[in-house]
Amino acid sequence: MRRKVIFSGTALPYALLAPQLAITVVFFFWPAAEAVWYSFLRQDAFGISTQFVGLENFEDLFADPLYLQVVRNTLVFSLAVTALAMAVALLLAVLADRHIRGRETYRTLLIWPYAVAPAVAAVLYIFLFHPNIGLLGRALNGMGIAWDYRLNGDQAMLVVVLAAAWKQVSYNFLFFLAGLQSIPKSVLEAAAIDGARPVRRFWTVVFPLLSPTTFFLLVINLTYAFFDTFGIIDALTKGGPANATQTLIYRAYIDGRVNLDLGSSSAQSVALMVAVMALTLVQFRFIERKVHY
């Protein structure tokens, strides 16, 4: 009986929540449900004839050796981008945290790449690495190294990893810098008095205390490498040569939007969604245990 009395009081909170819930449903759940539904269909481009094919789209996908290659590419790419972007950012943050002249300018400049659009970043890398017009590309060829990322798959992977990591360094740098500044000076001073040298102080005191930041960035960077690097790959290599830089998200785009095969593209999106949910679960279950807050 008491509950019914409270009911009029809950209407208002629900009403206030409604806009946010509506946005979530319309922009998150509805498209998600749509993708799941499409993954069971085979349809022509215009949607004129539709067949329900059950799990066939998924069976075709996992029977395709090229899809497995794409999975490998995605793992290599994501791990490389994450490792590189985080390592470089940490190094730069440690350096920028010291008392040096022009520290503010130095920090501001390091944040710039984050403001560069992915496609523009890719064009910058073309001007650096293109075998005919790129500064470094020409220099490498001039030194007798056969450099041509348009034909060499490993070189293509290297270029997209560099471009993708470069763009993410700024973001990581900001968080690492903030993390470093929140480490109490007294802890470092105590370690110094105990005779710990800078390198030892870093690995035994600073790095463990940074672990919440590092963990957060690990999640963010993997997500970035999985989903936000589309523009860089599209502008630099279009997934080539011979699928060497095709990642899961890029292939879902190609199959859905260029090849107009919505069924397969939706199946790939669903597979990707499941993979990312699993990955996030693993991260929070196992890696977070090692994080000291």
Minimum gap (Å) between residue 64 Cβ and other proteins: 9
Minimum gap (Å) between residue 49 Cβ and other proteins: 6
Cα–Cα distance measured from residue 267 to residue 193, given in angstroms and rounded to the nearest whole number: 59
Closer of 168 and 265 to other proteins (Cβ) = 265
| Type of residue at 271 | A
Cβ atoms < 10 Å from Cβ of 124? 15
Closer of 152 and 211 to other proteins (Cβ) = 152
Closer of 192 and 277 to other proteins (Cβ) = 277
For residue 256 the two structure tokens come to 């859905």
Residue indicated by tokens 């004839």: 49
Cβ atoms < 10 Å from Cβ of 137? 23
Cα–Cα distance measured from residue 64 to residue 58, given in angstroms and rounded to the nearest whole number: 10
Q: For 269, which DSSP code?
A: H
Minimum gap (Å) between residue 219 Cβ and other proteins: 10
Alpha helix (H) residue ranges in 97-238? 103-111, 118-129, 135-142, 153-181, 185-193, 198-201, 207-209, 211-223, 230-236
Report yes or no: 239 and 245 within 8 Å, Cβ to Cβ: yes
Minimum gap (Å) between residue 103 Cβ and other proteins: 34
Closer of 51 and 182 to other proteins (Cβ) = 51
For residue 173 the two structure tokens come to 């740098």
Minimum gap (Å) between residue 221 Cβ and other proteins: 12
Residue indicated by tokens 């348009």: 150
Kindly list the residues in this chain that would bind other proteins in the complex (CB under 8 A): 27-28, 31-32, 34-35, 38-39, 42-49, 51, 132, 150-153, 223, 226-228, 230, 238, 240-243, 249, 252-254, 256-263, 265-266, 268-270, 272-273, 276
Closer of 211 and 243 to other proteins (Cβ) = 243
Closer of 109 and 274 to other proteins (Cβ) = 274
Minimum gap (Å) between residue 24 Cβ and other proteins: 10
